Amino acid sequence: MSNDTLTARRAFMSANDAVSYGVRLCRPEVIAAYPITPQTSVVEKLSEFIAGGEMDCQFINVESEHSAMAAVMGAAMMGCRTFTASSSQGLLYMCEMLHYVSGSRFPIVMMNANRTVAAPWNIFGDHRDSLAMRDAGWLQVYVENGQEALDAVIQAYKVAEDPAVRTPVMVCLDGFVLTHTYEVVSIPGQREVDAFLPPFVPGENVLDLANPRSLCISVAPEWQTEFRHQQQEAMAAARRAIAGADGDFAGVFGRRWGGMVEEYRCEDAEYVLMGLGSVMGTTRLVVDKLREEGLKVGLVKVRYFRPFPNEEIAALGRRVKGIGVIDRDVSFGNAGALYTEAKAALYSAGDASPHTVNFIAGLSGRDITKEHLETMYRKVIALTEGKAEREIQFAGLRWEEW
Amino acid sequence: MPKPTVSVFQYPRTREEMPRGPYAKAGVLVEANAGWRVFRPVIQTARCRKCQQCWLLCPDGAIDRTGECYTVDYNFCKGCGLCATECPAKAIAMVKEGAKGE
Amino acid sequence: MKVKDLSDSELLYGHKACPGCAAGTVARLILKVTGERTFLAYPASCLSTVTSIYPQMAFSVPSFTAPFPATGAVLSGMAAAVKAKKLQDVTVLGIAGDGGTADIGLQALSGVVERGDRIFYVCYDNEAYMNTGVQRSSLTPFGAATTTSPVAGSSAGKRGVKKNLFEILVAHRIPYCATASIAHTADFLNKVEKAKNTDGPSFIHVLAPCPTGWGFPSDQTMAVGRLAVETGLWFLAEYEQGRVKMNSVPRNFRPVEEYLGLQKRFRHLGPAERKLIEGQRDREWADMREKWGF
């Protein structure tokens, strides 16, 4: 093993570099990737680690994202721990493979640099790419900063490879806002990571000369439902594994991220904003400011979109008066994906169900400013006080007052 | 004969018995293909020169060359007739299934 | 490779392919050469449908159904895993149809060959999408009737010629590639053995006549395969060490009618069209002679 030498230290780096260090610490045996902005520096860094002998890993320079996922699937099938990374058009190009991998139960970990989807062409961030892959059968975790990105990668392997889960995990980072933003990140020591994440032990869905099996086989309707139900059960098991991994991780590394969701100043909150990823960082500042004014506000950072934190959101719904959901995506003809799902979760809050409003914001890299966020809180408060608000609003639309 | 044979397959009875993910043990046969056949190849041992052509070319691998005489696995022969056509000694007759004397 | 030295164990057995299916013989003979230490990938194709529907598994080697476009890419991943796991004396094998190789799978094939991974890829060419019910592919020959190049109204079978897959592979400067015919079995087996032993990517394009899709009696598979070569409508060649070698150069071609006349898919062709096919053949051979000097 060539990367024994990595000892714990702090360094100034981009979230993409943080992901690269996280991956390196997890000792994947095969990586395959195809470049796409803003994911590229992850695979460049990993190539550098491998070329420099700092990682003992096979790197496959594939000719497309479809092939990237197919190649890591080929390696996973042979019992290897694997990694790939993509974004936007690339993620959509490998869509078929995402379903194939989850259906076949290979615990592959992928980083997705969230970027909008053409057309119009644009390389900047929003969540339409990964949310469009909502039904691909992968776990999806959205992170807020570089440190969480690094830690989420390590936890992702732990959860994905859990025998009760055996389902791939997508670690989602906001393009540019995170991927290319530098901050101080703690890199854990290799020895501690090795203790937290032992070598991958594949399940029985592995190509084995001593015990030949046929994988990814065809299954007639008579047995399909049972395999599908198994995937659903794996997602239920993932909820427990996510909490377990977060707790164990905190025990070793002293950082806890909250598992499925993280609540901030929600103990007595009456009005909350809910969202995914980096925007939650700015929202914290706005919460603090409004708290100083005496407003009972809080925020809920949804970390895992799959499995979805239905229970956590329903419980929140019983405590608060109004919820604004920020979506960096929109499912044209309906609402944002997070809003749709959160609202469904709130249905089981019963009569205590709070007022809800959906803010479509930060599309294709547009800034979500503190002023926008403050306006959102005030709109949520107004809504609970009986003022009419449109249920779905595009934040900061040029033709409208905001 | 080093080839799989039909066996009784025990389908999972509980969720615990389900394979985790769509895989199965290789070389497991739960049913034969015998019903596909209209004509069956009959090897006339006296004429057979053991040239191996039928064994080699059979799409189903249904011919066995290891014994004293070549034999056909009628569980898996589909009766395509390729062996009879390719036999240089004309040692294989295609006989209608259910015909008299068979 | 002597026939008597081939293994008696059948690593493909009990499949549901149509009677007389050449792909059955192709896959079964390849596995006799590569043996039990083979990791096999096959994409969605006739081969996947007839071998691997739960719980009947006709392959006895570790194998899997690959996504239709991805055979080359999964082979790359498997080859990387072979290195990572330091496995010795194994074959990473892909067997795909003409559509899975020359159409939807061409990009992944090009990728794996360009990277130089040690894999062995076989295209069994039955000249159309047979698994979905005989639709034309880029390897369907000129004039052939398929369900998407029908004979009706102004349409008279496929227009345009069969893509030259061999030359595509040669253009990659692949360490070893060959064309073959299942009816020329000794030649085919030699090529399979060479491909298996190639330290790098190797490729065989083998013509696999399809009784169902081409419209001939199931006992005529080998006869049709032989006629393809004897009429000059298919060729047997090898590319190694940067040179193309022809394995069979018929002194006189048999008339194309002998091949075309055996198959329903060409039945609609009149004398003018048959002449056209003959002309295409002669130009192809003149071209090959000039390029490869035989």
pLDDT digit string (tens) for chain C, length 294 residues:
799 999 999 999 999 999 999 999 999 999 999 999 999 999 999 999 999 999 999 999 999 999 999 999 999 999 999 999 999 999 999 999 999 999 999 999 999 999 999 999 999 999 999 999 999 999 999 999 999 999 988 888 999 999 999 999 999 999 999 999 999 999 999 999 999 999 999 999 999 999 999 999 999 999 999 999 999 999 999 999 999 999 999 899 999 999 999 999 999 999 999 999 999 999 999 999 999 999
* A32, containing H or E segment: strand A30-33
- CB contacts of B23 in chain A (<8 Å) are 104, 204-205, 213-217
- CB contacts of C22 in chain B (<8 Å) are 59
Q: Is the pLDDT of residue A40 over 70?
A: yes
**What is the distance in angstroms between the Cα of A205 and the nearest Cα belonging to chain B?**
6
- CB contacts of B21 in chain A (<8 Å) are 103-106, 166, 203-205, 215, 227, 230
**What is the distance in angstroms between the Cα of B22 and the nearest Cα belonging to chain A?**
5
B22 interfaces chain A, CB cutoff of 8 Å = yes
**Are A57 and A30 in contact, with CB atoms under 8 Å apart?**
yes
pLDDT digits (tens, 9 = 90+) for A348-394: 877 778 999 999 999 999 999 999 999 999 999 999 999 999 999 99
Q: Is the pLDDT of residue A1 over 50?
A: no
Nearest CA in chain C to A27: C84
Contact residues for C284 (Cβ-Cβ < 8 A; gap 6+)? none
**What is the distance in angstroms between the Cα of A168 and the nearest Cα belonging to chain B?**
13
Which chains reach chain A with 3 or more Cβ–Cβ distances below 8 angstroms? B, C
Which chains reach chain B with 3 or more Cβ–Cβ distances below 8 angstroms? A, C
Nearest CA in chain C to A96: C67
Nearest CA in chain C to A100: C67
Band of pLDDT at residue A236, cut at 50, 70 and 90 = very high
- CB contacts of C115 in chain A (<8 Å) are 60-61
- CB contacts of A30 in chain C (<8 Å) are 77, 80-81, 84
Q: What pTM was estimated for this model as a whole?
A: 0.96
Q: In degrees, to the nearest 5, what angle opens at C-alpha A385 toward C-alphas A382 and A389?
A: 45
CB pair distance less than 8 Å for B56 and C29: yes
B21 interfaces chain A, CB cutoff of 8 Å = yes
From the list C9, C14, C18, the residue facing B2 with the nearest CB is C9
Bridge partners for A265 per DSSP:
none
**What is the distance in angstroms between the Cα of C8 and the nearest Cα belonging to chain B?**
7
**Are C164 and C287 in contact, with CB atoms under 8 Å apart?**
no
- CB contacts of C82 in chain A (<8 Å) are 78
From the list B1, B6, B61, the residue facing C12 with the nearest CB is B61
CB pair distance less than 8 Å for C211 and B80: yes
pLDDT, averaged across chain A: 96
Predicted local confidence at residue A2, as pLDDT: 52
B79 interfaces chain C, CB cutoff of 8 Å = yes
Q: Around Cβ A368, how many Cβ atoms within 10 Å?
A: 22
Contact residues for C195 (Cβ-Cβ < 8 A; gap 6+)? C120, C122, C176, C178, C202, C203, C204
- CB contacts of A203 in chain B (<8 Å) are 20-21
pLDDT digits (tens, 9 = 90+) for A66-79: 999 999 999 999 99
C237 interfaces chain A, CB cutoff of 8 Å = no
Average pLDDT over residues A98-118: 98
C85 interfaces chain A, CB cutoff of 8 Å = yes
In three-state secondary structure terms, C98 is helix
CB pair distance less than 8 Å for C10 and B81: no
Q: In degrees, to the nearest 5, what angle opens at C-alpha A117 toward C-alphas A112 and A120?
A: 150
Predicted local confidence at residue A401, as pLDDT: 83
CB pair distance less than 8 Å for A230 and B26: no
Predicted local confidence at residue B101, as pLDDT: 52
- CB contacts of C3 in chain B (<8 Å) are 52, 56
Nearest CA in chain A to C35: A209
C41 interfaces chain A, CB cutoff of 8 Å = yes
From the list C20, C52, C57, the residue facing B59 with the nearest CB is C20
Q: Is the pLDDT of residue B102 over 60?
A: no
Q: Is the pLDDT of residue A147 over 80?
A: yes
Nearest CA in chain A to B23: A215
pLDDT digits (tens, 9 = 90+) for B61-90: 999 999 999 999 999 999 999 999 999 999
Q: Strand A297-302 and strand B71-72: pairing?
A: unpaired
From the list A60, A62, A214, the residue facing C64 with the nearest CB is A214
Predicted local confidence at residue A4, as pLDDT: 55
B93 interfaces chain C, CB cutoff of 8 Å = no
B38 interfaces chain C, CB cutoff of 8 Å = no
| DSSP string covering C133-197 | TSB--TTSPTT--BTTB-EETTEES--SPPP-HHHHHHHTT-SEEEEEETTSHHHHHHHHHHHHT
pLDDT digits (tens, 9 = 90+) for B30-60: 999 989 999 999 999 999 999 999 999 999 9
CB pair distance less than 8 Å for B4 and C222: no
| DSSP string covering C180-232 | EETTSHHHHHHHHHHHHT-SS-EEEEEE---IIIII--GGGHHHHHHHHHHTT
**What is the distance in angstroms between the Cα of A224 and the nearest Cα belonging to chain B?**
9
Predicted local confidence at residue C45, as pLDDT: 95
B71 interfaces chain C, CB cutoff of 8 Å = no
Band of pLDDT at residue B1, cut at 50, 70 and 90 = low
Which two structure tokens, joined as six digits, stand for A20? Answer: 């690269």
CA distance C57 to C53: 7
CB pair distance less than 8 Å for C8 and B1: yes
Give CA C4 to chain center in angstroms: 24
Which chains reach chain C with 3 or more Cβ–Cβ distances below 8 angstroms? A, B
Q: In degrees, to the nearest 5, what angle opens at C-alpha A183 toward C-alphas A180 and A189?
A: 110
From the list C7, C54, C221, the residue facing B24 with the nearest CB is C54
Q: Which of A7-21, A337-351, C137-151 has the lowest mean pLDDT?
A: A337-351
- % pLDDT > 70, chain A: 99
C113 interfaces chain A, CB cutoff of 8 Å = no
